[in-house]
Structure 1
Amino acid sequence: MELTAAEPRRKGLTQLFLDGEAAVRVDTETFLRSGLKPGDLLTDEELHSLLQASDARRAREKALYLLEHRSHSKRELTEKIARTAASREAAEAAADHMEELGLLNDESFARDYARELFSRKKFGSRRVRMELSLKGIDSALIDELLAEYADEEAETENVLSVLQRRYGGWEEDEKIRRRAVAALQRLGYSYEQIRRAMSLSGEEEQGL
């Protein structure tokens, strides 16, 4: 087949025309490095190699872009690349490469993410387990992290913090109390944890 034209497109892509018809779009940098120019003949194997090289470069570029903005788990990074920039195979290879370079580390990500969920978002253990699992974190590491944060007093303080910030008046208004309980359960707290925190809050009020 003959490469009859190559026209730049948005997002760093180049449209290739083969035998006079629009065929495929490839990464512009990959195309330039190939040395191909209009009038050249390509075999199916050469075109396939060009597409693979394009896919791989786009995947790595997307990986670097995503990691520049925030840390990711390996599964999360792979899925984002596969959805927006490259094939699943290229996405997995790019994630492997980022891991080899030390730019991707599931344990480090999981520890930072767990800290954010427990400390800033005030999630309970059940919700934290679910969120970490969704990110593809190994179950053994999740168990380890939850054990590190297993602190009944801290959980009670988190429940009380949520109640004070979002559900003022829950002590007197039954509707607010029901909404608060439902919300806290969505945050990953058991009914027993919620009941204990509310009970302690009532005891503090009586002690004043």
Structure 2
Amino acid sequence: MKITDIAPRRHRLSQLYIDGEAAVKVDTETLLRRGIAIGDELDDEELHALLQASAKHRAEEKALYLLEHRAHSKKELENKITRAEFDREAARSAVEHMEELGLLNDEDYARRLANELFTRKKFGARRVKQELRQKGIDDALIAAVMDEFSTERSETEENIRAILERKYPMAREDEKVRRRAVAALQRYGYGFDEIFSVLNSEE
């Protein structure tokens, strides 16, 4: 197979023409690194290796772009890269590379997210576990992180009280508001015992 032309395309890609026909689009930087030029001959194995290298580099660029905007868990990042039309192998390779560079750390991510959910959003333990699981944190790490925060959850009642005062100040006087407050606090991740302990203690 002979490369008969190389034409620039959007998103830092180059269109390869092989034997006069438009064939594949390849990451331009990968093309330059490999010294591919018009007139070169490629066999199937070399073309496959070029495409793999291109996908790997583009997936890493996508990973960096996503991490610039906010932290991610490994699983979350891999899924996002895959949804961006990269195959699972390229996505996983990019995630591993980000981890090697120190840009990705599930333990640190889980701890920071749990702290934010507990302290800023005032979520209960059940909701925090759910959020961590949705981000792709494995159960063993979730358990370890929750253990770290368990000794600091003495403010559970204070959090519930703060939510009630801010959003449902009439919950103790109005039964309809009370029902809405209980439903909302459940969504926050608090159990009935915790909720009614606060509601009843101040009636």
Q: Give yes or no for TM over 0.5.
A: yes
TM-superposed deviation, 1:191: 1.2
Cα distance change, pair 44–164 in 1 and its aligned pair in 2 (3 A): same
TM-superposed deviation, 1:146: 1.7
Could you tell me whether the CA contact under 8 Å between 1:58 and 1:85 is conserved in 2?
no
**What's the counterpart of residue 53 of structure 2?**
53
Could you tell me whether the CA contact under 8 Å between 1:16 and 1:24 is conserved in 2?
yes
CA distance, structure 1, for counterparts of residue 67 and residue 149 of structure 2: 27
**What's the counterpart of residue 149 of structure 2?**
149
SS state of the match for residue 14, structure 1? Answer: strand
2:167 is the alignment partner of 1:188:
no
CA distance, structure 1, for counterparts of residue 82 and residue 137 of structure 2: 19
**What's the counterpart of residue 13 of structure 2?**
13
Pairs aligned (count): 202
Cα deviation 1:159-183 (Å, max 9, x = unaligned): 1122222223222222222222111
Query: For residues 44-193 of structure 1, what are the structure 2 equivalents within 5 Å?
Result: 44-84=44-84, 86-150=86-150, 153-193=154-194
Could you tell me whether the CA contact under 8 Å between 1:59 and 1:85 is conserved in 2?
no
TM-superposed deviation, 1:66: 2.0
Query: Normalization by structure 2: what TM-score?
Result: 0.90
CA distance, structure 2, for counterparts of residue 19 and residue 171 of structure 1: 79
CA distance, structure 2, for counterparts of residue 196 and residue 71 of structure 1: 36
Cα distance change, pair 49–177 in 1 and its aligned pair in 2 (3 A): same
- In the alignment, residue 23 of structure 1 is paired with which amino acid? A
CA distance, structure 1, for counterparts of residue 26 and residue 35 of structure 2: 13
Q: Which runs of 4+ in 1 moved over 3 A?
A: none
TM-superposed deviation, 1:156: 1.1
CA distance, structure 2, for counterparts of residue 17 and residue 121 of structure 1: 54
Cα distance change, pair 164–35 in 1 and its aligned pair in 2 (3 A): same
Could you tell me whether the CA contact under 8 Å between 1:114 and 1:128 is conserved in 2?
yes
- Where structure 2 has 5 or more consecutive residues not aligned to the other structure, the ranges are none
Cα distance change, pair 52–199 in 1 and its aligned pair in 2 (3 A): same
- In the alignment, residue 22 of structure 2 is paired with which amino acid? A
Question: 135-144 or 46-55: which moved more?
Answer: 135-144
- In the alignment, residue 14 of structure 1 is paired with which amino acid? S
SS state of the match for residue 136, structure 2? Answer: coil
**What's the counterpart of residue 205 of structure 1?**
none
Question: 31-40 or 191-200: which moved more?
Answer: 31-40
CA distance, structure 2, for counterparts of residue 173 and residue 192 of structure 1: 20
Query: How much is the aligned-residue C-alpha RMSD, in angstroms?
Result: 1.8
Query: Normalization by structure 1: what TM-score?
Result: 0.88
CA distance, structure 1, for counterparts of residue 156 and residue 17 of structure 2: 62
CA distance, structure 2, for counterparts of residue 147 and residue 178 of structure 1: 31
Question: 122-131 or 59-68: which moved more?
Answer: 59-68
CA distance, structure 1, for counterparts of residue 153 and residue 63 of structure 2: 39
